[in-house]
Amino acid sequence: MAQMALAHATLVVATELTAQRQSVEALREAVTDRDGFASADHLRNINEWVERIAKS
C-alpha cells in the first residue's frame, strides 16, 4: 500500500512540474519577440540610444 501511495505522489509531483515547465515556457515566449529579444533587451537598447543622443 505504501509503494502505491508513493507512486501516486510521484505522478502528482511529475504532473505539477510539467505544468510549471509549460508556464515558464509560455512566459518566455510572451516576453520574447520574433527575433529572440526580450523586453529587457529592448529597454537596454533604448537606454543606450537615449544616452548617446544626450551626449551628442
| pLDDT of res. 36 | 82
CA 23 to chain centre: 8
Q: Rounded distance, CA 25 to CA 8, Å? A: 26
**Is 22 within 8 Å of 29 (Cβ atoms)?**
no
| pLDDT of res. 39 | 82
The residue ranges of the chain whose pLDDT is under 70 are: none
C-alpha cell at 6: 508513493
Q: How many domains does the chain contain in total?
A: 1
**Is 38 within 8 Å of 32 (Cβ atoms)?**
yes
